[in-house]
Structure 1
């Protein structure tokens, strides 16, 4: 029975943690641990989190000595994890009761799957459902020209730790798009599987890193992630266009992927996914 390590990087989100905590202890799959790493919060996060987890040995709370940022913090969380399967949950979000069980079921059945993901529910400030975005869907496997752009691999993502250790690991420099960087690195190591369930509750509030002034920066960071993937895969041209030797700007990278928005390309992609799904 595999252990699932739920990884939580916290910075000043202790006030929202009660919902996250409740969603975790409501899991149908029971063989899990929670690793929390606080990145030098300046609010009362530690007091609030400690008050909830108390003496529950399934929860382990650690603290960074200095504020490190999300890249380093998430990398440390994976190092601290004891489980075979890992998945990040933000302290201001939550997961459905089936989230862990659905992922573990896929990993148990399909040894070649290295990462799973699901649909997510966009929620209000009180974690009450607002809508289910149509972003998430199965993507083609084994395609060197897949860069998750537009984004289809979203929450709730879980992955095999032993396979992660075979990659270049988490980019500790990044403060935005570090998750997309991780997904592409895992994609290169095996199959990814879409779970058609609403397994992640995503809270929208003014403090969310991807919902405020950082949004324009996300596109720039994501372009760097895509460029790095191109270099890892040793791609020199994409659809007849030369891949630049060094990264200069995001527009140059996104222009390389313009062809992927064509009707013909999208039809071929859907056909490939149908064939792969039928024989999986």
Structure 2
């Protein structure tokens, strides 16, 4: 079972060395790394190309102009040759067993279309700071699951054949791209939580996701959720009508506020417990 590591790169040459070395240390060996560069400057591209020059498992592609993260991540999947795919940001890294643990889950759970794990938040030098404790097994076959509040996060892997059944990543998205991917994949099967730290998430001032304004990110996430309403033909949520057209993020998240309440989360926790039986 071949694994495609997908890397959407934009001017992250200095941090990429850690990502590169973490892939070389993987205990699972049947993998490739698809790098799509989103029109970085020549210096940054040269840094990446120099690192991967002697490792044929790394394949480098370039966009002819800056297209944005949605387009670039979609291109990564299109170019992947693996049965299983997983994104790693070029300024992050993964633990040595990340690919092996993910592949094993897919081998033994045929109904699983997506796996995810805990991640470790790290400082600029990838020294551990704290784990992402919100990650937990989600309730499967729930049309009202929108990853709100966020529970599915890195390290995420998915079956490419399942991805191809849907619309794929929205190429116009500038943020909330991962959420768009997760919700579309889960239209076709189950998610499985791997209760281990498999991903190192670097906190630094130049991180793309960290530099994006919270307002724009919230707006993009809301639009992703609204499109999911329509795709799943959801017209009523918690006895409230879903609007025919998108107006603003506040309207969308108000429909889902009940999902952040303790009573609802306890109910889901109980149902998830029995799901595992």
TM-score, normalised to structure 1's length?
A: 0.97
> By how many angstroms is 1:44 displaced?
1.5
Q: Does 2:109 correspond to 1:110?
A: yes
Which residue matches 1:30?
29
* 1:254-269 map, 5 Å: 254-269=253-268
Q: Report the number of matched residues.
A: 277
Which residue matches 2:151?
152
CA contact (8 A) 2:2 2:84 kept: yes
Which residue matches 1:42?
41
Q: Secondary structure at the match of 2:247?
A: coil
With 123-132 and 149-158 compared, the bigger mean Cα shift is at: 123-132
CA contact (8 A) 1:70 1:174 kept: yes
| Equivalent-residue separation in structure 2 for 1:101 and 1:67 (angstroms) | 33
| Equivalent-residue separation in structure 1 for 2:272 and 2:169 (angstroms) | 28
Q: Does 2:18 correspond to 1:19?
A: yes
Deviations for 1:155-184, whole angstroms, at most 9, x for unmatched residues?
000000000000111100101001101100
For structure 2, the residue ranges without an aligned partner over 5 or more in a row are none
Deviations for 1:85-128, whole angstroms, at most 9, x for unmatched residues?
00000100000001000000000001110000000010111111
| Equivalent-residue separation in structure 2 for 1:261 and 1:20 (angstroms) | 34
| Equivalent-residue separation in structure 2 for 1:214 and 1:38 (angstroms) | 23
For structure 1, the residue ranges without an aligned partner over 5 or more in a row are none
> By how many angstroms is 1:214 displaced?
2.2
* 1:100-249 map, 5 Å: 100-249=99-248
Q: Which segments of structure 1 move beyond 2 Å, counting only runs of 4 or more?
A: 212-216, 261-264
TM-score, normalised to structure 2's length?
A: 0.98
Q: Secondary structure at the match of 2:102?
A: helix
With 34-43 and 96-105 compared, the bigger mean Cα shift is at: 34-43
Deviations for 1:8-29, whole angstroms, at most 9, x for unmatched residues?
0100001111100110000000
> By how many angstroms is 1:43 displaced?
5.2
